[in-house]
Amino acid sequence: MDDTTAFELDARDRKRLAARLAGSTPIAVRTSDGEIGLPPVAQRAVEQLLSGLASGGVVHVLADDRDVTTQEAADVLGLSRTFVVRLIDSGKLPAHLAGTHRRVRVADLLAYADDRRRRLDAVAVIADADQAAGVDYR
């Protein structure tokens, strides 16, 4: 498996997985040596992975200490590669050069994504409050 593998399920498998996740039973891994119960951190990680797959989203598995290309960063953020390059060049997204190519550490990418999500959520709250107050943006 490569360090930036993306996973996605078809509709039938999503429905089956969602039905199984509806219960709150512990997740275990079955191996040829028997069943292994997952520690709490691994349990939460697997639940998040399975929930993302069941909801129909594309799930990316990334190692924090790895570097990704600007295209891979763009795919994770759901933005264009050109916009990601602008973020890097403006200093909003940390990156370094590998030869002549920009590379982004996954930890920095995920920190940027979290910050971006918080900012967008805050803007949505303000927009909802303005709409409730009757402020028109036309």
Domain coordinates of the chain in residue numbers? 1-62, 64-138
The percentage of residues in the chain with a pLDDT greater than 90, rounded to a whole number, is 41
How would residue 138 be classed by pLDDT, with cut points 50, 70 and 90?
low
What is the number of alpha carbons within 13 Å of residue 84 lying toward its C-beta? 22
What is the number of alpha carbons within 13 Å of residue 89 lying toward its C-beta? 8
Question: How far is it, in rounded angstroms, from Cα 2 to Cα 63?
Answer: 10
How would residue 3 be classed by pLDDT, with cut points 50, 70 and 90?
low
| Three-state DSSP state, 5 | strand
| Three-state DSSP state, 85 | helix
H or E segment to which residue 28 belongs: strand 28-31
Fold of 64-138: Multidrug-efflux Transporter Regulator; Chain: A; Domain 2 (1.10.1660)
Residue with the larger pLDDT of the pair 104 and 35: 104
Judge whether residue 57 has pLDDT over 80: no
pLDDT tens sequence across 70-105 = 999 998 899 999 999 999 999 999 999 999 999 999
Residues 6+ apart with CB under 8 A from 11: 56
pTM over 0.75: no
Question: How far is it, in rounded angstroms, from Cα 68 to Cα 24?
Answer: 35
Which range among 12-21, 53-62, 121-130 has the greatest average pLDDT?
A: 121-130
Task: Look up tokens 């900012």; give the residue.
Answer: 119
- The values of phi and psi at residue 28, to 5°, are -130, 155
Average pLDDT, integer, range 10-26: 75
